[in-house]
Amino acid sequence: MITTLVQFGFRKPRSEKNGALRHYRTLILPAVILLALFVTPFHSLAKDKATNSNQIDIRQTKQWPKTVKEAVAQILSKMSAKDKEIVKNTKKKDLIKFHFGWGTDIRNEMGLWQGNHALLKDTKAIHPDDASMVIIEAVWKELQNKK
């Protein structure tokens, strides 16, 4: 242990009688601090896991849409008339402007990042970002078909 601490810049004791006690005192405080810094994060993680073990993860219980059609129906049921009008009046090539705001909500709420493989597969996209754009385009197409 002494050789390891010496590598970190702590000095060796000058003599066994006089310097050893002083030397070990100067080593104890840094060692305790390092130990506390190392152990504390793991202790708090274990504590959080123990206190939250009885809580249910909403991602496990939420019913995500399995198809693009279900996703579109869910989105349209929650959209305001004003938002529907905005999307309907947007040109298809400009739908990308919805990628970060609305697209992020789609990816999060429909579980595209949390393991909704059925919806990801139905969009025929490999990445959740691409899948959310498929859903946005499907919503846009549905709104174009409504008069």
The domain locations on the chain are 2-51, 59-145
28, 82 contact by CB (below 8 A): no
Q: What confidence score (pLDDT) does residue 63 get?
A: 87
Q: For residue 61, give Cα distances in angstroms to 23, 32, 64.
A: 58, 44, 9
- Size (the chain), residues: 147
List pLDDT tens digits, range 12-43.
555 555 566 666 667 776 777 766 666 656 55
Angle between helix axes 128-145 and 68-78 (nearest 10 degrees) is 60
